[in-house]
Chain A
């Protein structure tokens, strides 16, 4: 029997951040406990203002063995980057 609590992935949004970033993982019996644990483990030095917790088993990850077919074809397609035109001066924040 597996005596460990389920594993949870913790995402934290920092004060100035716009998105939640993956901070790490921890063990907890349920979502409520995962939230409390995340607060104590990952935000005690005031790293964040918002927390998401997701049970790790709910994440579907790409298989590293498939990296060749998934990612390598993109490596030599520089034309997919939007860098081949001039931005007018009036456009900021690009």
Chain B
């Protein structure tokens, strides 16, 4: 295992948090109620904090002495390794919740394993993030149940969001070459092992929420190889504009 393998592996974890954090950040001041607005922004900031820890570690590993800002703001689209689900838009509150819940359950299972990593840095970041993510899952799961099992309209909207986002769930368990090398070294997690537990947990909650489990013959993939959906370019344009226009600008 080389440092480059490890860096790429860290990107595949940290970029999820960065992009989802950015997506949730878009909702700041636009949440459906004051309370959910603050909750979603809290989650965004948790994710951003986790991202910083990972990127700072990437900086230590990199030959070029990268800073966390270089890593966050100066990579091109193909260099981001986040899964496709986190870049999906905030279509409505049901989509925000479905996206969040599908990701949170995976994130929780991942961190649970990453806490046993042989790499002390990853282990420490996982331990710190775990409590935050346990709450994220509680929040999104609670809302998914409420909306699914709520009024006729909320049920219909929740079902629609689940149907649309379901095709992005399988990718969470894909392993690219770097993932495999790092998992084999005992530093990373073998995502394929999380899959069964994941679908059991998610399907049980969907059932409680009276949401039908979608059946799809085909799942979307590509993010982990840097091939993103059409939304990613807009997210990066928003996020990177300042650093691209005024290089090295500081607040």
Q: Which residues of A contact B (CB under 8 A)?
A: 5, 26-29, 32-33, 36-37, 39-41, 44
Contact = CB atoms under 8 A, between A and B. Distances in A.
A29 B36 CA distance: 12
A33 B139 CA distance: 9
A44 B38 contact: yes
Contact of A26 (B35, B135, B139): B35
Contact of A36 (B33, B34, B138): B138
A36 B139 CA distance: 7
Contact of B38 (A28, A32, A41): A41
B35 A40 contact: yes
Contacts, number: 27
Nearest to B145: A32
A5 to B, nearest CB: 8
B142 A33 contact: yes
A42 to B, nearest CB: 10
B229 interface: no
Given A33-B142, A36-B142, A44 B42 contact: yes
B175 interface: no
Closest 8 CB pairs of A and B: A37-B35, A40-B39, A40-B38, A40-B42, A41-B38, A44-B42, A26-B35, A41-B35
A37 B34 CA distance: 9
Contacts of A44: 38, 42
A33 B42 CA distance: 16
